[in-house]
Amino acid sequence: MTSTDTPVETATAAASGASATERFQTDKSAFDAVKDVPKERVDLLAREVLEAVYATIRNHQVTYAEYQALKAWLIQVGLDGEWPLFLDVWVEHEVEQVNTAHRKGNKGTIEGPYYVPDAPEVADESGVATIPTREGEKGTPLVWKGTITSTDGTPLPDGKVEIWNADDDGFYSQFAPGIPEWNLRGTVSVGPDGSFEIHTIQPAPYQIPTDGACGKLIAAAGWHAWRPAHIHVKVSAPGHELLTAQLYFPGDVHNDDDIASAVKPELMLAPVPQEDGSVTVDYSFVLDPIQG
């Protein structure tokens, strides 16, 4: 474990949004991945999105005052650096559903705006890992055991689990001040039989940032800003499709009305309380081979 002083700064939507935007912009692969998309498809998608906007304007007789407010709000989303937050909370779940509908292995869900690549390897040769935490990290200790296999049941000894989650106050390292760089983040290489054992802290539910433009939308629409407690993972193995998922805990009041619409029954954990106050979970992954 590493120790740190109590944060003296306050996490803000603008600061978190700026960090998320900056990290996204450093990844130059976003445009490279679609550089060969035909102009006809770009034309089709752009026109259909605009037609949906036009239909909303016509169907609900949008006023000029509402239009001007929309312009001001869209500009503020950019100034706050909250486009990654907005898109990942309200749009990504549909993109994920479309792109993974063919899979026979585990279900996935959204990545969200707070992923950081290249988290340090924390597992030993047998796949046992302790995720970095601060001295006295708040939250319930959690021990998670599982395996990574292919759809035919073959263990995948070269598999990896990237794991990250918010702390007990709802903040992510590298997106809030005063938290060690890799707190509650790590990469876990599995053992020779595809198994892993991860020691970490059970996260708490949290609200997405509400002091920026996204928060203004939430308040104006009368929505809530809560996400249920969840652990993020990216699970990979050579020759298999990358799985991005979030794992949830039964009984959370926001499992049924997650602001990000990302909860699926297949992603629910089954924690077992232990006498020492910790909980254990068993949850394994089945990855789809890459076709073609």
User: Which residue is listed with tokens 């990358």?
Assistant: 242
SS3 230: strand
Q: Which residues does the chain have with pLDDT short of 50?
A: 1-8
Compute the distance between CA of residue 111 and CA of residue 163 in angstroms, rounded to an integer: 11
Backbone angles phi, psi at 41, to 5 degrees: -75, -40
For the domain spanning 11-292, the CATH number is 2.60.130.10
> What's residue 14's pLDDT?
61
Q: Which of 133, 85, 131 is nearest to 111 (CA)?
A: 85
Boundaries of every domain in the chain: 11-292
- Residue 30 confidence (pLDDT): 72
Provide the CB-side half-sphere exposure for 252 (13 A, CA): 25
Cα dihedral angle (175, 180, 202, 140), rounded to 10 degrees?
Answer: -140
Residue 104 dihedral angles phi and psi, to the nearest 5°: -100, -15
Say which residue the tokens 């959370």 belong to: 252
Go through the chain and tell me how many residues it has: 292
Model pLDDT, residue 29:
73
Closest CA to 105 of 255, 206, 244, 231: 244
Q: Which two tokens stand for residue 78?
A: 């950019």
